[in-house]
Each structure stands twice: as structure tokens, then as C-alpha cells.
Amino acid sequence: GQQVMQIPQYQHVQEGEDFTTYCNSSTTLSNIQWYKQRPGGHPVFLIQLVKSGEVKKQKRLTFQFGEAKKNSSLHITATQTTDVGTYFCAGQMTTDSWGKLQFGAGTQVVVTP
Amino acid sequence: DVKVTQSSRYLVKRTGEKVFLECVQDMDHENMFWYRQDPGLGLRLIYFSYDVKMKEKGDIPEGYSVSREKKERFSLILESASTNQTSMYLCASSLLGAGSSGVDSTDTQYFGPGTRLTVL
């Protein structure tokens, strides 16, 4: 079964509102990455988190890695129409040494103007 | 900029046909991956390769095979296409070499545009 779970699957947001998407792993991760896929496009790397408790920001996006390195979150403030897309988290298991990632099912974000 | 290209954006095949999906990357990356993407299931790894002529099964290898004769090219083969293989197929590459633990950003995966395969 899927080792990396992501919730919610869908997120409808009013423009200007904030929202958070969550990622949980059944096993400890060596690192976690986040990707964004625009409608009709392919996944594009956003950020990687490596350290326990790490927080990184990219403009209105805040990424967090849990203390136990088993969960992560992406928080978007003041959502804009350009944030539309599907956001995937992808974890690298500590047991994997080939750069293999376990992707979550993604959170599809729809923004209402 | 890393460029990953895939041979077709759209492909329509009939049940039982042999299908080849080609992927080429231009950044001398060690690792290459084939995923399929289905609604609600995210990206599921079919096969990956960490070196020329080397391959490893991913989570859903059944019904697929791969070939990596040159470092820049990774092919996905459907020996006998079936309707349940209708999907979006994404190829990716990453710099990480064999045996590395991936604690830095070198294992970022770069994706191709995808091939939407329909099997009738």
C-alpha cells in the first residue's frame, strides 16, 4: 500500500484565503520533497527538507518537516489563482539509497476568484 | 536547465500491441525513472535505473519492462498492452549516483512532459 499519505485530496480555496496540505509517512524519511503540477503540466520541484523540524519559506509558501521526520506540511497564505494545481509530497525512505521517492497522491487545489 | 523529453505526448494503441515509450535526458543524470499517474493515486513508480543496463523494479512493474542501453535514454516497454494500462506515463531523471544516501538536493527529480497512453 501507499506509504506516503497526503490530505486533503481536494482543496477548494477562495482567493486570498490560506490553506494547508499535510503529508504523513508510515516510516521515517531521510528527506521530503514537494512538487507542483499545473493543470496539463508535469510535476516541478519546489523544495526539499532534510532536517528534523526544518521550516523553509518560498514567498507565500511555508514548508515544514516534522520532528520525527515522518510528516510534513505545506501552508499557502493569501492564495492566488496562480496557485492552482496539484501539490505532491515525495519522501525518500531511509532504507532507499538510489534516490527513489515515494509520492503521495497529491492535493488538487482549485482557487475561486 | 535540465531537459527531459518523451517521444510522444499522446498515443493510442490497441489491446495486445507492443508499445515503446522513450525518454531522453540531456544532463548526464545517473538515475532515471518511469511513473504512471492516475487520478487519486498520485505517481506510482514502475521501474527505475541507476546506471546503464541496470534496472530495479518499482512498486507496480507487472506488465512492463525497461531498457537502458545509453545513459541518456530510458525506454518503457509494454509487451502486450491492455486497457488497464491506459494512463499518463511520466519519465524523470535525477543526478544522484548509485549508493548515495540523498541527503542533499542532488536527488531532485526532473520530469518530462508525459505521454498520455490510451489502450483500446
B42/A106 Cβ within 8 A? yes
Chain B residues closer than 8 Å to A44 by CB: 111
Distance from CA of B96 to the nearest CA of A (A): 6
C-alpha cell recorded at residue B17: 500491441
Of the candidates B58, B53, B81, the residue with the CA atom closest to the CA atom of residue B68: B53
Q: Which residues pair with A104 in a beta bridge?
A: none
Q: What is the 8-class DSSP label of residue A36?
A: E
Distance from CA of A107 to the nearest CA of B (A): 9
Sorted by where each begins, the domain ranges of chain B are: 4-95
Residue A53: alpha-carbon gap to chain centroid:
15
A90/B107 Cβ within 8 A? no
The pLDDT tens digits of the residues spanning B26-77 come to 989 989 999 999 988 899 999 999 889 999 999 999 999 999 999 999 999 9
If one compares A71 and B95, the residue with the highest pLDDT of the two is A71
Nearest residue, CB atoms, A101 vs list B40, B101, B109: B109
Neighbouring CB atoms inside 10 A of B80's CB total: 11
- Give the residue on B whose Cα is nearest the Cα of A87: B42
The pLDDT tens digits of the residues spanning A52-111 come to 999 999 999 999 999 999 999 999 999 999 999 999 999 988 766 667 889 999 999 999
Residue A64: alpha-carbon gap to chain centroid:
9
- Is the pLDDT at A44 greater than 80? The verdict is yes
Report how far residue A31's alpha carbon sits from residue A17's, in angstroms, rounded to the nearest whole number: 29
- CATH number belonging to domain B4-95: 2.60.40.10
Identify the pLDDT of residue B40.
86
Q: Is the CATH code 2.60.40.10 the one for domain A4-112? A: yes
Identify the pLDDT of residue A69.
95
- Is the pLDDT at A28 greater than 70? The verdict is yes
Nearest residue, CB atoms, B101 vs list A30, A42, A90: A30
> How many CA within 13 A on the CB side of residue B40?
0
Chain A residues closer than 8 Å to B105 by CB: 48
Nearest residue, CB atoms, A97 vs list B35, B100, B105: B100
According to DSSP, the β-strands at B42-51 and B54-57 are antiparallel
